[in-house]
Structures are given as structure tokens and as C-alpha cells.
Amino acid sequence: MFSFNLYIHFFSYLVRPTVLEKSKRIYSGINQTRTINCTVLRANPTYIRYTVNGLSPSIIHRTVNEQNNLQYTFDITPTSLNDFGLFNVTANNSVGFDTCTYELIHGGRSSMPYSFFSSESILKRKRSDT
């Protein structure tokens, strides 16, 4: 009986990664950098390999955090409309995996210095109306 309990305890200790956020929408403009975090809540063993799928490697800049293997942090900077859409980060250990899924949506703060409707053009329009 003792060996049976030890067997159950050993295998209950091994845990596949479980991520904090299963899905998230991220709004970004072209040439606007956004920081992405895929956080693992629990895993055993804690040695985790991360893979990013659905994004061009040219727009990803990994933020190295050797202190915390349970968080994968990277910056993305979309450079064209083709860079927007769904992507995921998969966390793997020897037991299994879990996935953070993101939707990169074109919107939010623009990287251009002036918006299409600048305050100057609105003032000109108001002056011409009076």
C-alpha cells in the first residue's frame, strides 16, 4: 500500500503549465510597440519552453527575464496591416502545455505625429463657419 500512495503522490506533483490569461485583445497602431506577457500560474517542472506562432519574427523583440521562467515577455511592433490578427504563445514543459491567445487589432494610439483631424484643421473649419 505504501508504494501505491507514493506512486500517486509522485504523479500528482507533475503539473502541465496553466496560463493566467487564455485570450486577450491588444490594440495597436502601425509602428507602435506593445509589450506582451504570457504568465504561467503553475507548472511542475518549472522549466518551460515558449513558442510564438502567428507573428512574423521580424516584429518580435524578446525581453529577457532570466529571473522568472514563469513569465514570457516580448515587445511587438507591427509595421504593416499584414501584421495584425490572431497569434498565440504556447508554454510547454515535459508534462504538457497551455496557450495564451491574442488578437492584435489595428487601432489605438497612432504612431504618426498628427492625426487626420488635427486641432488646427478643426479650428479652421469653425472659423469658416462663422
Residue 8 domain-assigned (yes or no): no
Range of the domain at 38: 14-112
Residue 46 CA: distances (Å) to CA of 12, 41, 92: 15, 10, 10
pLDDT at 66: 63
**How many domains is the chain partitioned into structurally?**
1
Residue 63 domain-assigned (yes or no): yes
Distance between alpha carbon 109 and the CA centroid of its chain, in Å?
A: 18
Lookup result for grid cell 479652421:
124
Per the model's pLDDT, the better-predicted residue between 128 and 54 turns out to be 54
pLDDT at 12: 59
Length of the chain: 130
Per the model's pLDDT, the better-predicted residue between 44 and 126 turns out to be 44
Residue 126 domain-assigned (yes or no): no
Q: Look up the CATH number of the domain holding residue 85.
A: 2.60.40.10
Give bridge partners of residue 88 from the DSSP assignment.
Answer: 53, 101
Residue 39 domain-assigned (yes or no): yes
What are 87-130's pLDDT values in tens digits?
999 999 999 999 999 999 999 654 443 333 444 444 444 444 55
